[in-house]
Structure 1
């Protein structure tokens, strides 16, 4: 884990968008880095994104970025992960929203509908 506080979580859709050159995602990363904070990448979101990303060099660039922290779910969170997965329908999205709740930040996503079943739509920043 980094000494930098995590300000935003990228879900699989945001990660894929970054690899396609999304200005929206790049700007968020730059703003967070300028604040001396970090962007969180849940490992399950990285895995999901990697399954369909053509530009793996950009995926590596993102994962190795100095303002990025790769996050793993805590083993003790397995039940919360299971419940959240039932709500959002995907394990990677569930891990993103749980990380956001744990770190008191939001999830950057291009698929806000995934999180519609969460109370108040969840801590989501759509782009």
Structure 2
């Protein structure tokens, strides 16, 4: 067992928002937080514009692979952050759940994805300040 909190980010395709959020947690949270990401209907690859947006801030998510959401991933997590996956996420008592309303970067250009990325970064920084400070 670990004392580190585990955060799971869930969006439909696990190709944009959840991958960017996981990238920020890995970068900003370091070894203090475990991070998982998954999708209710994952794509075959990460959104290339999301990869580009994250590369602009020095975070490489290009090698990540979208994963399907499993009950075990939710069970293993202390905090579950959903991003537009609706009712696809199983609910377990004792877990902290948040729903982050964010625009979907799918099909958008880099100018539209940068503000989404920056919004995610701010939310991740707030989340980490709560998880690591405790």
TM range (shorter): 0.3 to 0.5
More helix by share: 1
TM-score by length of 1: 0.41
Q: TM-score, normalized by length of structure 2?
A: 0.40
